Structure formats: structure tokens, C-alpha cells
Structure 1
Amino acid sequence: MTRKHGKKYLAAAAKVDPNRAYLPEEAAQLVKETSYTNFDATVEAHLRLGIDPRHADQQVRSTVSLPHGTGKPVRVLVFAQGDAARAAEQAGADIVGADELIQRIEKENFLDFDVAVATPDMMGKVGRLGRILGRRGLMPNPKSGTVVQAQDLPRVINELKRGKVEFRNDKTGLLHVAIGKVSFTAEQIRDNFAALMEAVKAAKPSGTKGVYIKSITLTSTMGPGIPVDVSAAQNMQLEEV
């Protein structure tokens, strides 16, 4: 069944040439111009990768520190105890706890946070939350830099608060990453996009053959997709912020 779009969407889509691959700078400006919501829409990058996600050596999973953040407050939860818990609280973590926090998540389905961090000594207990946190992408994991030693908690919490986000491919080989808000300047969107591209290139799996990044689209919440020139995007230089 063909999806019907409203007048606002159609007017926004009319500004985009679907047969043209836009330069990153052009796409960053156009994603602002084609946003028609009455709220501060999220800007997302969607990348179609030339990977076979059925194979373990072709998974793309890493993190990126967005120079201008995500545009929304990040609530950080930390599983820690003793001195590590005190260090997490002093570093600005929103929620800190150990056994009682694990029980709260289990019994109350408490999920009022954006990212979870844990010290290694807590992972034996946190592991039982796998079914609850895993399906929401909230499970602490060494690969995403969210299982860290106590002395690293202040640095990691600060990075997360400032806009460090995790990305990973889905079952179809796509990446979907929020890189800011429509209220950002085009330059800020471009900078965050450049940082993402550097991180995605660095995360190229060893088992990948052929073309790694097949297509890139920028879009805002409910807005039309804007095709981005893949070559130009891969050659972007991240400017000092």
C-alpha cells in the first residue's frame, strides 16, 4: 500500500532532487530547510553499508564524539559501588547504584536514562539485565566503551554528557545515527556529520569486501531524505571546534 504524505511533507520534498547527490555542506543546509515540524526535529544520518551482517567479522559497532553534542541532555546511569560510585556521582552521573539499582530495573522496569556505564566488578550482576537493557541498546559493553575502570569514570561520563554516542549496524546492514538538531547551524551539522564519517571509516570490519559505504542519506524527523555524495562525505575533514 502506498503511503500518503501530507501537504507539508510534499512541499518539503519538492525542495530535494532525488536524482542528485548533494555535497555534505549542501545537505546540512537543506536538512534544515526541509524540516517542517513545530518542534526541534532530530537530524539523522542513514548509511547503507556493503556488509553482510550475518557474519561476525562484518559487524560495525563503535562510538563517535560529536563535537557539538546531540542537542539533548544525556542522562547517564552508572552501575558502581564504593569509591567508584562516589567518583561517578562527583563526575555528574545522573543515577548511580549497585544491587538496589539492578533490582529497581528488574522489578519496576526503570529505564529513565539514555546510556548505562558499569565498572568491571559489577558486570557479573548487571549481566542478568541483558534481556531488559539489551533490546533497548542500553547494556554496558566494553566494545562501546561503557564498561570502564573506576579511574576512567570521570572521563567517560564527561564524554557521554558532551555527545559521545554509540552506533551499530542493524540486521539489514544499515546505520542510523542521530547527529544533532534542526536548530543547529548548518556548520554544526556538517561538523558532527564529519566526525561520524571518520568514526564509521575507522570501524570498517576486516571481513568487508567491495564497496564499504554504498549510500548516505540525511533526514530530519518526519522530513524527506536528502541523498549525500558518498565520495565527498568520505573525504570530509573534521575542522577544529
Structure 2
Amino acid sequence: MPKNGKKLKEALAKVDRAKSYPLQDGIDLVKSSTYAKFDETVDVSVRLGVDPRHADQMVRGAVVLPNGLGKDVRVLVFAKGEKEKEARDAGADFVGAEDLVAKIQEGWFEFDTAIATPDMMGVVGKIGKLLGPRGLMPNPKVGTVTFDVGRAVKESKSGKVEFRVEKAGIIHAPVGKVSFDGEKLKENILALLDALVKAKPSAAKGTYMKKICISSTMGPGVRLDVSEVSAQL
């Protein structure tokens, strides 16, 4: 088995894995435990009290983080005519129709988010099996299938995060960079968790948010006190 490096061991030593930390303390711990030479992403993982095998317990949605993600989001838009111009004016990186579909079929995926007008979904559907597994398929439930492409592009550029519960009942989402100050990370985390609460299925029973952890790309996970965090929502 590979051995943990010295820096990782030092980071792990800072975290009490048996303890659940208040949100601000958890954020401070994540920031102080980073050791990579790049600006690591801060991620949130939430175990939900749902069974995604049942359609009425699926949790999916999107939220625009108040302080963005700290990175340049490459946005692709499937649109024609006036909507194509609207997308370009809003700052979309790539705009097209059949030409983009052909490019993606050839193996091109140099974008982070895909948006489509409803009338383009017949064309986009041809590459659904390529976009879906990568989490890039436009979907009306998260606002990426819309005629309001200008707004959708601006939201994606400003830090819109999509979330979807996995088979194990867990949601993972980025909430910024370790270089963000603690208050900005806190605001982003609370915005994400608030969106999760609002997306709670009516069929979900019992405790909804069972466990919350935050971590940096390379650093150890820090467990948060769910009750303390929930009181701030």
C-alpha cells in the first residue's frame, strides 16, 4: 500500500475524525490543512436521508453561489438565430448547433457547462449518452434548458453549481477556493445547504441532512456539526 506523504500526515493530524466541528471552525481547519502548491477547491459532501432508487426521493437542483467558484467557467450554448446572438452577448464561450454536436461526437469536451434552448433538445439528444455521464447534459430542472439563455449564461459564469444525489444518497459540490476568506466560503456553503433544504422531497422521512463534510482537493475531510450548521439556515 502507498504511504502517506509527510505533508498529508501533518494535515491529517490536525483533524479529530471523531469530532463534529462548528461551521466556521471547520472552514478554518480546512484552510489551515491545505498543502498543495495550487489553489485547491473546497468541496462539500452531504449524506441525505433519501433513497434515490425511488423517483419521488430524487434530489436535484442548482444554486448560484454568492461569491462564485473562483474559476473561469467555460459555457457552451446550443442555440440558433437571435438566441445564438443573445448567448454570445452574455459571454458564452462556444455557441452553435449541429456543428457543436459533430465536434462533441468526435471527442471534444473543452467546456464546463452546457445550455440549450428547448427547440434544440432534439439535436442535443443525439449526444445525450456522451454528455449525461459527464454531468453536462442540459436539463430544465437546473435551468440549463431555457429560452432565457442570456440569464443562464451569466449565472453559470458567476458561479452556478448543480447538484444531484448519488445512488448512495450523497451529494458532492464545490463551493470555492481555499484562497477565499472564511466568510465568503461560509456564505457559499450556507447557500448550497439552503438550496438542498429547499429541494427536500416530500417523500423523504426522518432526518434529512445526516452528515456534512468539507474538504480541500488534497486535504483531509472535516466533519461538521449538522445541528449547528442547520441553525444558520
Shift of 1:4: 3.5
Distance 1:101 1:167 in 2: 25
**Structure 1 residues 198, 131: CA separation in 2 closer, same or farther (over 3 Å shift)?**
same
SS of residue matched to 1:69: coil
Shift of 1:140: 0.3
Q: Which residue of 2 aligns with 1:202?
A: 198
One-letter amino acid of the counterpart of residue 86, structure 2: A
Contact 1:27/1:226 (CA < 8 Å) preserved in 2?
Answer: yes
1:117 aligns with 2:115: yes
Q: Which residue of 2 aligns with 1:103?
A: 102
| Cα distance per residue 1:93-122 (max 9 Å; x no partner) | 00000111111111x211100000000100
Question: Which residue, out of 177, 180, 192, partners 2:176?
Answer: 180
State the aligned residue count. 233
One-letter amino acid of the counterpart of residue 5, structure 1: N
What TM-score results when the alignment is normalised by the length of structure 1? 0.94
> Any stretches of 5+ residues in structure 2 without a counterpart?
none
Moved beyond 3 Å, runs of 4+: none
Distance 1:220 1:72 in 2: 15
Q: Which residue of 1 aligns with 2:71?
A: 72
SS of residue matched to 1:135: helix
SS of residue matched to 1:177: strand
Contact 1:116/1:139 (CA < 8 Å) preserved in 2?
Answer: yes
Q: Which residue of 2 aligns with 1:7?
A: 6
Contact 1:46/1:217 (CA < 8 Å) preserved in 2?
Answer: yes
| Cα distance per residue 1:157-195 (max 9 Å; x no partner) | 111100011001111111111101111111111110010
SS of residue matched to 1:43: strand
The CA RMSD over aligned residues, in Å, is 1.1
How do residues 33-52 of structure 1 correspond to structure 2 at under 5 angstroms? 33-52=32-51
Distance 2:3 2:42 in 1: 22
| Cα distance per residue 1:50-106 (max 9 Å; x no partner) | 111111111110001111111110000000001110111111100000111111111
1:130 aligns with 2:131: no
- Quick one: percent identity of the two aligned structures? 52
Distance 2:149 2:123 in 1: 19
Distance 2:139 2:125 in 1: 10
> Any stretches of 5+ residues in structure 1 without a counterpart?
none
Shift of 1:3: 6.2
